[in-house]
Structure 1
Amino acid sequence: AGRSTFTDVYILLAVLWGASVGYGTFISILSGDWVAATMSCLSAAAMVGGICFRNFGAPRLVAIMILLSLGPCCIAAVLSGEAVMRLTLVQIPFYLVAMSIAAFHLNKLLVTTMKAERENDHRARHDALTGLPNRAGLVHASAHLYKADQIGEGKTAVLYMDLDGFKPVNDQHGHEAGDQLLVTIGKRLDALKGPDDMVFRIGGDEFVVIVRAGDQAEIASFADRLVSEVPVPFTLEPDVSVEIGASVGVALIPEHGADVMAALTAADKALTLAKLGGKAQWTLAT
């Protein structure tokens, strides 16, 4: 939400909480009231389990809180003069080590799970070949990055690009060459776009670029660059060079659609008109 938090205060309170538990156990043991001492030791031990599992995202904090909660028991055991209490000198260090190790293992499990979820989410929204966001990434961007009520000033355009003559490259040079060409196209589009723009590969030889600009003239200029610069000859191998074209359909938000997905439909229709009109050109949606 972008709001500041009181993390440092929370950590300090957690440490003081552990220390207060340790202090309560310490004075209970030294009081000579063994019923109170037993209850306080059991309470401290039980709470340490909660500390471990509640705060496993911060295993070093767990170790400190356990040490402050149970450490005073060892000191009080020596000062109490009761020989049986000295068993805590063996038991508590073992407990401290075991619970700290458990916290570190839980933390590792948490981090591993979070990384796996992040990677799966990335794979689901990105094209494996080019690394660009895919159709699912476009839908996500439409819902989160380009909300209709957040478009703001200026113009936002959806440019739907289809490559002209891509199939013959696959047929003549093989799919590996075609894949190499698509990767190069993706890099070329990424280099052409502005810092606030996004490029997507939504399938086959179809790409979508979402552009933010000050006015419609800037968008027209960008569309001209796509048509002229994307088809520059590609060198697939030292002795193999291919040249393809690019047809582009352009739709504006909100003129041709209230959001990205609606504008994409209009851009798709404009792309069809560009193809029918002779290819290697761009057409604005009507």
Structure 2
Amino acid sequence: MRRTLLHSLYASLPIFAGGVLNTIAVSALVAVRMQSTAAFIWVAMEVLLAAARLPALMLGRRAIARGRRGPTDLYILLAVLWAASVGYGTFMCVASGDWIAATLACLSAAAMVGGICFRNFGAPRLVAVMIGLSLGPCAVAAALSGEAILLLVMFQIPFYLVSMSAGAFQINRLLLRTMHAEMINDHNARHDPLTGVLNRGGLARWAEERAGRSAGRLAVFYLDLDWFKSINDTLGHKAGDAVLVAVAERLQAIAEGPAEVARIGGDEFVLLMEDIDPDEAQRLKERICNAIAGRGYFVAGERVHVGASIGIALSEDHGNNLAELLEAADMALHRAKADGRTAPDGSEDRRQRLTAAVGEEMPTAAVD
């Protein structure tokens, strides 16, 4: 959400360009008309600030597009200085008594408020500061002008400032609520509601994102829990759900570096590991087996045990397409299950084999 809000500060390049060109043009016309040092100072400030703000804007847009913060603090400081420059121009023109110049400057400042609100709705406090700096000096100059009719401005501008700032805060709150709802919906669409790990949709999204970047080797571990059905049958589905949550937590604890865990079926899990070789995959398989079956699960007032059959597929053997890797790992899983399952209680007198396969049948590892 923060990244999106920061991105909004750098968006709407046409509004930015229109505002910069407008204030430069108005300040130049005022300088030509008034021929005063104060007017020429205003032109110089507008040109210098435009020359500084445009590079900051472009750098920020590129940085945000690449997932970095960008020169946000500098960009905000320059925006505040620009608003102060506009306020300086309005004060100077109204205080001078040249009502044609004052009309140009005040109309320009009022027109800028719309652009300020539309471009900076992600930072409503910035909106309030910029409006105050650009229009506030106009009210001060009206009070000092000696023209009684201009005293009305002293009431109009504060009201305008409050109402437009309130509008910016309201838009910001609406944006945050919308973004939050979208994030929740996106998370729910990609994650398993029980365990919190990825679901099939999230796994597919992960594969798409991985395909868009330079990726190294990938190992797919396809897990199926042994003796899990007996827990559901004897202790109920609530106990089975508790075991699934615990298994997902143990898999997430094992996953290191660029890795993802997904639940793609009732008691079927997938662990994706990047940048590991076949030997590392074998060692990781043993860790997974030990983590799932080496310790029991205390649920419904009883200690229960499950095992794991694992099929493994490696990208160097089966390609980088995740669907093909999952299919190869699934076939390896079926071969592993045909070799044997883990004992349901993990005791020494009922040892069975925890099995795994990589493409072809592989040696088994015995654990309690």
Taking structure 2 as the reference length, the TM-score comes to 0.71
Among 147, 151, 161, the alignment partner of 2:223 is 161
Residue 62 of structure 1: how far off its partner (Å):
0.9
Whether 1:236 aligns to 2:310 is: no
SS at match of 2:92: helix
Seen in structure 2, the aligned counterparts of structure 1 residues 18 and 165 have a Cα distance that, compared at 3 Å, is: same
Whether 1:180 aligns to 2:242 is: yes
Paired with 1:86 and 1:214, the residues of 2 have a C-alpha distance of: 75
SS at match of 1:120: helix
Higher RCO (C-alpha under 8 Å, 6+ residues apart) = 1
Seen in structure 2, the aligned counterparts of structure 1 residues 13 and 64 have a Cα distance that, compared at 3 Å, is: same
- Superposed, which structure 2 residues align to 1:194-273 within 5 Å? 194-212=256-274, 214-231=276-293, 232-238=295-301, 240-273=302-335
Range with bigger deviation, 37-46 or 267-276: 37-46
Taking structure 1 as the reference length, the TM-score comes to 0.90
What amino acid maps onto 2:329 in structure 1? A
SS at match of 2:97: coil
Whether 1:80 aligns to 2:145 is: yes
Percentage identity across paired residues of the two chains: 52
Alignment correspondent of 1:10: 75
What amino acid maps onto 2:157 in structure 1? I
Seen in structure 2, the aligned counterparts of structure 1 residues 156 and 112 have a Cα distance that, compared at 3 Å, is: same
Q: Deviations over 1:27-80 (max 9, x none)?
A: 222333334323432332222122122211111111111111111111211221
Residue 146 of structure 1: how far off its partner (Å):
6.5
Alignment correspondent of 1:101: 166
Whether 1:189 aligns to 2:251 is: yes
Residue 254 of structure 1: how far off its partner (Å):
2.4
Q: Does the 8 A contact of 2:195 with 2:244 survive in 1?
A: yes
What amino acid maps onto 1:18 in structure 2? A
- Superposed, which structure 2 residues align to 1:126-165 within 5 Å? 126-145=191-210, 149-151=214-216, 155-165=217-227
Range with bigger deviation, 219-228 or 141-150: 141-150
Residue 4 of structure 1: how far off its partner (Å):
6.4
Paired with 1:70 and 1:229, the residues of 2 have a C-alpha distance of: 66
Paired with 1:148 and 1:26, the residues of 2 have a C-alpha distance of: 54
Alignment correspondent of 1:283: 357
Seen in structure 2, the aligned counterparts of structure 1 residues 214 and 207 have a Cα distance that, compared at 3 Å, is: closer
Paired with 1:140 and 1:81, the residues of 2 have a C-alpha distance of: 67
Paired with 1:148 and 1:44, the residues of 2 have a C-alpha distance of: 46
Among 111, 126, 138, the alignment partner of 2:176 is 111
Range with bigger deviation, 118-127 or 84-93: 118-127
What amino acid maps onto 1:225 in structure 2? R
Residue 249 of structure 1: how far off its partner (Å):
0.6
SS at match of 2:271: strand
Unaligned runs of 5+ in 2: 1-65, 342-353, 361-368
Paired with 2:296 and 2:214, the residues of 1 have a C-alpha distance of: 41
Q: Deviations over 1:78-116 (max 9, x none)?
A: 221100001111111111111111111211222222222
Range with bigger deviation, 49-58 or 3-12: 3-12
Q: Does the 8 A contact of 2:219 with 2:312 survive in 1?
A: yes
Among 82, 87, 99, the alignment partner of 1:34 is 99
Q: Deviations over 1:107-161 (max 9, x none)?
A: 122222222222221111111111111112211222224668411xxx5310000
Alignment correspondent of 1:171: 233
Alignment correspondent of 2:13: none
Paired with 2:254 and 2:134, the residues of 1 have a C-alpha distance of: 60
Residue 277 of structure 1: how far off its partner (Å):
2.5
Range with bigger deviation, 74-83 or 137-146: 137-146
Paired with 2:204 and 2:99, the residues of 1 have a C-alpha distance of: 66
What amino acid maps onto 1:235 in structure 2? F
When the two chains are superposed, the root-mean-square deviation of aligned CA atoms in Å is: 2.1
Residue 245 of structure 1: how far off its partner (Å):
2.1
Residue 187 of structure 1: how far off its partner (Å):
1.4
Whether 1:66 aligns to 2:152 is: no
Paired with 1:210 and 1:50, the residues of 2 have a C-alpha distance of: 47
Q: Does the 8 A contact of 1:125 with 1:133 survive in 2?
A: yes
Question: How many residues align structurally?
Answer: 282
Whether 1:122 aligns to 2:122 is: no
